[in-house]
Amino acid sequence: MARKMKCRTVEFLPETDMFLPEGKNDQYEYVLKIEELEAMRLKDVMDLSQEECAEKMNVSRQTFQKIIDTARKKVALALTGGAGIRIAGGSFVTRKCKIKCTDCGHIYEPSFEDDKVTCPQCGSQRIQCMQKNTHCMRLCWED
């Protein structure tokens, strides 16, 4: 049985989610996951060490390296190939997101993909993001 995918922790959600080369509006685009953008922000903008970045994202250093390598490759391919970059989806949670089970009332922060589908306490699928109409807009639930 495969291990559950652990959600990455992110602190930044971008206001802009699409970047297109000037004059192009109908071409190939690369999809940069939210956690990939967060990895680049922490390492390249905030200039944190790999260990600090991994700790902030709640992943191992090896996993962090895989995330940032993938992100940098997508950005480089888009820039050199004249393609767009769309920022969307991924497997992540923000430090602000909490989920409430409407059946048992359990409130929790999701730590695995399954926690976004079923309540870890009672197994109910009747769950909702407590910030669904504020900052989150259910972005953390997109694939």
Does 87 share its domain with 113? Answer: no
Does 77 share its domain with 129? Answer: no
Range of the domain at 101: 96-143
- pLDDT at position 7: 80
Does 106 share its domain with 88? Answer: no
Domain count, the chain: 2
Does 47 share its domain with 71? Answer: yes
What is the rounded CA–CA span in Å between residue 91 and residue 94? 11
- pLDDT at position 139: 45
Does 41 share its domain with 62? Answer: yes
pTM recorded for the entire structure: 0.68
| Among 5-19, 58-72, 88-102, the range of highest mean pLDDT | 58-72
pLDDT digits (tens, 9 = 90+) for 102-130: 999 998 877 666 667 888 899 998 888 77
Among 86, 72, 1, smallest CA distance to 36 is for: 72
Whichever domain contains 86, its CATH number is: 1.10.10
**Per-position b or e across 110-130, b if 16+ CB within 10 A of its CB:** beeeebbeebeeeeeeebebe
